[in-house]
Amino acid sequence: MFAIALTNAILFTALATTTPDVAPAQTVDVTDTPMKFALSSEGPALFLTPSGKVIPPGALAEHSIVVKHKGQTLTPGIDYQVAEKNWNWTLTRLPDATVPNGDKVDVSYNYSLLRLDSRIKLANGDIVLRQGTPEVTIPKPVNLQPGETRLANIFINYYDDGADSQVFIVNQTADQAKTHTTVNRIPKTMAKIQSGKPVKIVTWGDSVTAGGDASSPDLAYPKLFEKQLHEKFPQARITVENVSVGGSFSNLWINPEAYPQYTSMPRFSKAQWQRVVDAQPDLVTIEFVNDASYNRDTVYEVYGEIMDRLNAIGAEVILITPHFTSFERMGFADHSYADAVEIRKYVLALIEFANEFELAIADASSRWAHLYQEGIPYTTLLGNGFNHPDDHGHRIFAEELMKNFSQQPDE
């Protein structure tokens, strides 16, 4: 019996990893109805899908771009410039352009879509390939019918011909992920919750904490976290306040004088530590993917000062390890990252710091590293294709935070 089961497992794995019948990536030609852009010298235009979603750099075929003004084809390098800026392709008018600044131009181009197909074992034992829905950034695995089992997802990247697509075998579930998330390290907060006293929690962070790229504010992790707290402790009086600024990093908030190039910009005017103090928190959660460049010494210096300040106001803390961003920022060559968390110095230092001082931690990074085992290419959870999690990614943050509120007997 064991031999038969093993043979079947090998057969299913072999069938799951074959890709000869995978269709190529879908492409879209914006030609019959070109997009109308204002060709401006001041504000560059972003390339969009017809529905208005920004097209990531890897999805756009630069050579396909044709710009016309009143039927006349314009010359790149003279009339306009196409460049990659802030993780998007942009179109900008050049000083010697024949087109008046701000005039509308017709722009044609070609872009590609991502897709996740699935190898599925049907209820009768047959194995089939089911094609997913193409999306510009966050393709989802196809839905299963009753009695079906997903064996693998096949990732069709931009302009992929389908012949050599990467296969993600489903080896484990999300529940099997091993993380460094803690329990029993927020005793004062738990005591107040259980006694019915008011509890104030501040979610402090950058653009991820601010909500980018969740599909709605209610699906960003701070709101999900608050909702799940109320569901777990329906009688408790818990308030969650979001204190965040997109693009910021922790040391900017506590030592702004060291960063005049940032503090002179209006967008960072609210990155003030006093906002955290004024909220009078019992507990502060800290998420800064923008701290990911910190080495161990910097983590101990900056987070040491943060803890001194939180101790001074009597607030407990949950440190959140960050999600994964693009290959370029992570230093990955592809989705094959067996020891992804281990090569991130900031994450390791944050975990070490938390354990040394017995601080609570919500280890989202290990959950993102585990996505590979779940058959999910992590980049399909990046809402903007670069550095912001989608709804699934935000849900991971909330889930790991909530584990800190599950008390277990001390060993």
136 found inside a domain: yes
244 shares its domain with 306: yes
128 shares its domain with 248: no
292 shares its domain with 215: yes
97 shares its domain with 204: no
Say how many C-beta atoms besides its own lie within 10 A of residue 34's C-beta: 15
pLDDT of residue 32: 77
Read off the CATH number of the domain in which 255 is found: 3.40.50.1110
For 43-69, b/e burial (b = at least 16 CB within 10 A) is ebbebbbeeeebbbbbbbeeeebbbeb
12 shares its domain with 83: no
195 shares its domain with 297: yes
278 shares its domain with 395: yes
408 found inside a domain: no
pTM of the predicted protein model: 0.90
279 shares its domain with 311: yes
> CA torsion angle for 172, 178, 179, 184 (degrees, to 10)?
120
83 found inside a domain: yes
Considering just the CA atoms, what is the radius of gyration of the chain in Å? 24
What is the spatial distance between Cα 68 and Cα 74, in angstroms, rounded to a whole number?
Answer: 5
Number of domains in the chain: 3
What domain range is 374 assigned to? Answer: 175-403
pLDDT of residue 16: 52
Q: What is the pLDDT along the chain (411 residues), one digit of tens a residue?
A: 333 333 344 444 545 555 568 999 999 999 878 889 999 998 788 898 988 888 988 899 999 999 999 999 999 999 999 998 878 889 999 999 999 999 999 999 999 999 999 999 999 999 999 999 999 999 999 999 999 999 999 999 999 999 889 999 999 999 999 999 999 999 999 999 999 999 999 999 999 999 999 999 999 999 999 999 999 999 999 999 999 999 999 999 999 999 999 999 999 999 999 999 999 999 999 999 999 999 999 999 999 999 999 999 999 999 999 999 988 888 887 776 656 666 689 999 999 999 999 999 999 999 999 999 999 999 999 998 889 999 999 999 999 999 999 876 554
pLDDT of residue 113: 97
Tokens describing residue 229: 């707290």
Give the chain's end-to-end CA distance (angstroms, integer): 41
130 found inside a domain: yes
Residue 388: what are its φ and ψ, rounded to 5°?
-115, 130
232 found inside a domain: yes
